[in-house]
Amino acid sequence: MSISATFLPFAKRENSTRQPTAAELANGVTVNCILMDDTSLMNPTFKVRWPNNSAPHHYNYCFVQDFSRYYFVADVTSSQGFWYFTMICDVMASYKSQIGSGQHYVLRSASERDEYLIDTSYITRSDETSVKRYGQVYNDQGTMIGIDPFSWSNGHSFVLGVISPSFDPTYQFGAITYYWMNDSELTQFLSFLFNNVDLWSGIATGTYSAAVQEALLNPMQYVVSCIALPFAKPASGPTDGVIYFGFYHYDPQSDRFNPFLVSHDSVVQHLTVEFGVEKHPQAAARGIYMNASPYSSYTLHLGPFGDIPLDPALLINETTVSVDIGVDIARGAGRIIVKGKTTGNILYHGSAQVGVNINISSAQRDLLGQTTNLLSGIVNTTGAVVSAATGNAGAITSAISTPLTTVENAMRLKYPTVIGGGEAGSFLTFHDSESCYINSKFYWAVEENVTELGRPLYKKKTINTLSGFILCTGADVLIAGTQEESIKVNNYMNTGFYYE
């Protein structure tokens, strides 16, 4: 049987759908071939009397119009003036149109990818890049006030809890009124209490000498708490320049003495810290997934709250982390909510003791003969729990109302693990030069090979909408070919091929 076949030199991959162009075919050599007996359509052998103007061994590819197939030349032999070409059908080129029109599930592709899919084809290097970024602190009016919300150098203040008569429910917390003071105001008030007993007690020195008054009267019995805060007293606030304590009051009528009354609305003060989120240096080229674990990790260090690992998956689309800090200035307890500013994703919610309890206690014997500590500012939680277990209801109340739940708060810092629990309720936090930052660590992946391995896609796609390397799974292409050809095409598609 004689057929016409066009031979040409043609460079292509075995698993590629690339076909010779019309120009390349036109530059080939078209000869009449005799199809040998006992040969196959898939692997035919052609007997050719080759033209003398070219050498047959320069030609490695063939197109047979009668068979509508492309062939690789597997071998060329010569015998008695004839050349024998052993051929192998190039099924990928022969059935390119059917392959291209099919829709299959594509695992990897060189021309399209899903940036959120982690590419596990490449190992991660052991070295890392670490970047530290400091925050910007804003007050509740939106004014930037520094880079560390807990720095003593930004300003500081004190809130004094005083037992006083109820004169305005707006500023009364049970029997306690809280006064917000600066250093000089606190010093002035304490000086008055200790050095002017006869003035505030109303007992003349003619009745009892100053020494007797000081022995009988405890000037601090009406002061139940003193909290040092790492931020200044506001520039303005409610005040009448007088401090009421017990049956007495202090009214210096001085412009320098102007403590603010703490109202129900102002007992919780808010600050906001914002941090820029560093991105993995390889993310722009490799994909967004590089900003997630295990390639990226983020740890927020925030004063008394310690080190808080942040979930990088929730930071993939974030450029800014916002930390809302709420501080109960009457007790010094703090709460933070860490979230992404763009998405609003909550990254962490926790609490710690922010203010420092200033211990100005005085042990007294009350009417019931119970020893109490009116001013400790720190309740012995362990003793209270033991007493509660033995049925002391008063101890139960003390244990519950204590703001210093340091152990509990440290345990709450466990997402995903606690690196450091901070220095809750300590001046160490206020004087720490490295108290507010986000530390980002990035691990590098080795060099990728997109041309020959593609990138993750994991989508059902029409093949001719893609190009270059493609890897399918479960592909079962419909072709008008033999069973063997169909098997070979499916095998190429499910092990990786090139659509060109």
Domain boundaries, the chain: 2-92, 97-121+448-499, 124-137+269-354+406-445, 152-268+358-371
Task: Write the CB contacts of 207 (distance below 8 Å, at least 6 apart in sequence).
Answer: none
Dist CA 232 CA 256 (whole Å) = 16
pLDDT band at 200, cuts 50/70/90? low
Average per-residue pLDDT in the chain? 83
74, pLDDT greater than 90:
yes
Mean pLDDT is highest, among 45-54, 105-114, 158-167, for 105-114
Mean pLDDT is highest, among 92-106, 139-153, 384-398, 417-431, for 92-106
pLDDT of residue 16: 97
113, pLDDT greater than 90:
yes
Dist CA 111 CA 114 (whole Å) = 11
339, pLDDT greater than 50:
yes
pLDDT of residue 211: 63
State CA 124 to chain mean position distance.
20
402, pLDDT greater than 50:
no
pLDDT of residue 460: 97
Lowest-confidence region among 127-141, 255-269, 300-314, 402-416: 402-416
Answer for the pair 46, 2: CB distance below 8 angstroms, yes or no.
no
Dist CA 69 CA 46 (whole Å) = 14
**What is the dihedral angle through the alpha carbons of 166, 167, 173, 177, rounded to the nearest 10 degrees?**
-100
pLDDT of residue 423: 54
pLDDT band at 363, cuts 50/70/90? very low
pLDDT band at 323, cuts 50/70/90? very high
Q: How many CB atoms are closer than 10 A to CB 61?
A: 22
418 phi and psi angles, rounded to 5 deg: -85, 125
Dist CA 174 CA 165 (whole Å) = 10
For 172, counting Cβ atoms within 10 Å of its Cβ (0-12 exposed, 13-18 middle, 19+ buried), the class is middle
pLDDT of residue 236: 87
State yes or no: cis peptide before 294, omega within 30 of 0: yes
pLDDT band at 56, cuts 50/70/90? confident
Cα atoms in the 13 Å half-sphere on the side-chain side of 357:
18
11, pLDDT greater than 90:
yes
**What is the dihedral angle through the alpha carbons of 454, 458, 460, 462, rounded to the nearest 10 degrees?**
-10
Q: How many CB atoms are closer than 10 A to CB 231?
A: 24
